[in-house]
Amino acid sequence: MSLSLRPYKGKTPVLGKDVYVDPMSALIGDIELGADVSIWPLVAARGDVNIIRIGARTNIQDGSVLHVTRVGPEAPTGHPLIIGEDVTVGHKAMLHGCTVGNRVLVGMGAIILDGAEVADDVIVGAGSLVPPGKKLESGYLYVGSPVKQARPLKEEERAFLKQSSINYVNLKNDYLAENR
């Protein structure tokens, strides 16, 4: 077993087809990655007290932290981490017990906290803070700490959301080919 993929309480990460997990990352516990996902160096993801699910063609970039919230009085079901398809999570982002839709860009150093929900087709600006329970509406750029809706996305930005995931699928394919 790879040191990057570690079991916790009998649950080991499950990888979809053609997934790249950098050997310097750590994925622990109840985690499922869809097809063509890429996990880059120094990503830490712990599906220990709840589940993590990451959709197809999503990329989690260097130094990002992914975690969940346990079941408790304030959260009867806890907060799993659910990330959709074609999502780009920028370097050093922190996603904790939140839900992220499809075709989302989470900027570098952004933080999304427990129970927050990011709809499809959203950009969360670099360094932004999405507070617990906040809901971000589809089709907008959000920036700030705490985030505020800045403006509707431009057509080029919407197109970039999908293109970014395609770029990372191609890059991870190069890495997989290099390591075969």
Residue range 5-178, CATH number? 2.160.10.10
Q: Are 172 and 38 in contact (CB under 8 A)?
A: yes
SS (H, E, C) 113-161: CCCCEECCCEEECCCCEECCCCEECCCEEEEECCEEEEEECCHHHHHHH
Tens of pLDDT, residue by residue over 37-66, are 999 999 999 999 999 999 999 999 999 999
C-alpha triplet 149, 106, 12: angle, nearest 5°: 140
The answer to whether the peptide bond before residue 146 is cis (omega within 30 degrees of 0) is yes
Residue-wise pLDDT for 64-123, tens only, equals: 999 999 988 888 889 999 999 999 999 999 999 999 999 999 999 999 999 999 999 999
pTM reported for the whole predicted model: 0.96
Q: Do the beta carbons of residue 138 and residue 123 sit within 8 Å?
A: no
Residues 6+ apart with CB under 8 A from 83: 52, 53, 54, 55, 58, 60, 66, 89, 95, 100
1-33 as b/e: b if 16+ CB within 10 A: eeebbeeeeeebbebeeebbbbeebbbbbbbbb
